[in-house]
Structure 1
């Protein structure tokens, strides 16, 4: 957990400090816990920063007051980014957090490189109900709002007690100020100016921001993609974390095209990289980041040598040191890089001269097994 200065949004940072930053914004009435099912896996390859709205979670209530705007909230997020020395970042937000993301992308395009808008809108309907809710909360607290929250947030039968507890723990004045911001918010005409590659995610059973709101955003932002999730209501990251996680991972992974992660996938295959990322822990994340940035992002992307040549060099080095598990993986990679069985065999034969016959003997056994497995799998893959 991050210690936060008194005039800054409370936030939680996860993942390698050197990884591409991704800010995650919350919905009204929730906290950083909204992202519990999504953030840990994304943090294997990104510097995740979850933040709390004023008066929510650990953020000071006094950061906003009556008559607040989404622009005020966006300015607080920029203050947080400046505090963390993040000149440019990716962003994903839910509902009000998504509105903040749209404002940032429209008004500060130099700061947002990719955007995901989850169960949100360019305008949250008539301002009257929001002003009425703000007045209710200022007069009576959050009890009545909390009574109906589950019906707005989740499909029937689903619940998330932690999030409902977070709502009851929210500062009423700050919650009401956020309602003021939603009442006055309308970014419809500015959407066409958003240039960050954008993904819009909608819950098909969301009564608060129905899919029509998501389609409006996607239609107005040039090149935006739209994903509708079945069996999901307003807080899709809590209700359908796997689906949201995979959609975000695919969207934000595309920023890595030509980077270490992309090259690693091209050479070793998606299945291997997915397994490595799924097995990543807080302890191993720095090493995975190192591999992606240095081995794949600097060495394998250097155009001085072709990938075929790099595969030949790698096979020889692995034979010399007896790294047979890695050798098997890189025999598969060599085939992806265009080497045939005869070329691989010729490389291994040469290792017999310079690395020793026993080393070459073991290497031929490993490579023979892998090539046979790949040959046997080809007919099935072609069906």
Structure 2
């Protein structure tokens, strides 16, 4: 089980090496807030025949260490939450974790794909480190005062998403990220997702610490320095990260491609995986010519 270490915190990642002839850059998949590696299972299946795939567990998620002061998780919620919100993770730190993973994996350049929180980490990584050969940004934002904010009620619902593994709270926290039509038509899949989340998602303290990273993120004024091909995809019915953020990103990243997915939810890469995979594979193939 490969692991990278930064600041004495162990970051777990999976590295599938079976795809392609080794000539193409590997594809790195970065997770959303609190979500485990399960969220990329549809994209990993589509990518593995042609590309190596690297899937890290975000700090505090899955098999990666949380790296939080040991006393914090033991504090009462009324004390713990304000401290984690103020002294939680940062996007800069999560980007440094990614650099440690790629260094450990011996990767000189990679296609970086990030959704939501992962898309923020991808942006930060591209402006600070040289290994990104392309960016694919899904349902994300450049942060800061100019971004369209996550509605506060939705943010609180996501952060309350059953860090203790409670099935009902996990299911309730998914209401904003999936469309009602999809959940009603796929009850068995939603049951499986709940179980995957119980196994892989971030615990309560780490989820709040990741939320702090999102709240404090702002890379808007640095995106003009991004000089790698960039694909931006966003669902038009995203209730978590308003779709206006996709246009704002496209305006700031030079020559970025913008693709709206009509009717897509925040997790449109799950609900509309065929559409997303087709666009992603086409975009990656262009970069390898």
- TM-score over 0.5 for the pair: yes
2:32 counterpart SS class = coil
- Equivalent of 2:132, from 92, 95, 112? 112
Check whether the contact 1:31–1:163 (CA below 8 A) recurs between aligned residues: no
User: Any gaps of 5 or more consecutive residues in structure 1?
Assistant: 258-383
RMSD between aligned residues? 2.8
2:142 aligned partner: 122
Whether 2:53 is the aligned partner of 1:51: answer no
Change (3 A) 1:107 1:3: closer
1:247 aligned partner: 279
Structure with larger RCO (C-alpha < 8 A, sep 6+): 2
Check whether the contact 2:150–2:241 (CA below 8 A) recurs between aligned residues: no
Whether 2:10 is the aligned partner of 1:8: answer yes
TM-score of the superposed pair, with normalisation by structure 1: 0.60
Check whether the contact 1:137–1:173 (CA below 8 A) recurs between aligned residues: no
Whether 2:116 is the aligned partner of 1:95: answer yes
2:231 aligned partner: 199
1:114 counterpart SS class = strand
TM-score of the superposed pair, with normalisation by structure 2: 0.78
1:82 aligned partner: 103
2:242 aligned partner: 210
Change (3 A) 1:162 1:96: farther
- Equivalent of 1:28, from 33, 36, 47? 33
Change (3 A) 1:114 1:221: same
Higher mean alpha-carbon deviation, 164-173 vs 220-229, is at 164-173
1:158 counterpart SS class = helix
Distance in structure 1 (CA, Å) of the matches to 2:3 and 2:39: 19
Distance in structure 2 (CA, Å) of the matches to 1:140 and 1:256: 40
Q: How does 1:1-383 map to 2 (within 5 A)?
A: 2-4=1-3, 7-14=9-16, 15-16=18-19, 18=22, 19-62=24-67, 66-108=87-129, 110-123=130-143, 129=152, 133=156, 146-159=170-183, 160-169=190-199, 170-257=202-289
Check whether the contact 1:26–1:95 (CA below 8 A) recurs between aligned residues: yes
User: Any gaps of 5 or more consecutive residues in structure 2?
Assistant: 70-83, 184-189
2:134 counterpart SS class = strand
Write 1 or 2 for the structure with the bigger share of helix: 1
Check whether the contact 1:12–1:32 (CA below 8 A) recurs between aligned residues: no
Check whether the contact 2:148–2:245 (CA below 8 A) recurs between aligned residues: no
Distance in structure 2 (CA, Å) of the matches to 1:88 and 1:8: 22
Distance in structure 2 (CA, Å) of the matches to 1:230 and 1:139: 30
Which string of whole-angstrom CA distances, capped at 9 and with x for unpartnered residues, describes residues 92-142 of structure 1? 01100011001111222x211100001111117559949x849x7599957
Check whether the contact 2:162–2:170 (CA below 8 A) recurs between aligned residues: no
1:278 aligned partner: none
Q: Which structure 1 residue ranges, 4+ long, deviate > 6 Å from structure 2? A: none
Change (3 A) 1:251 1:46: same
Higher mean alpha-carbon deviation, 247-256 vs 121-130, is at 121-130
1:74 counterpart SS class = helix
Distance in structure 2 (CA, Å) of the matches to 1:227 and 1:22: 20
Equivalent pairs, count: 253
Change (3 A) 1:4 1:250: same
Greater Rg over alpha carbons, structure: 1
Check whether the contact 2:233–2:246 (CA below 8 A) recurs between aligned residues: yes
Which string of whole-angstrom CA distances, capped at 9 and with x for unpartnered residues, describes residues 334-366 of structure 1? xxxxxxxxxxxxxxxxxxxxxxxxxxxxxxxxx
Distance in structure 2 (CA, Å) of the matches to 1:148 and 1:47: 35
2:249 counterpart SS class = helix
1:154 counterpart SS class = coil
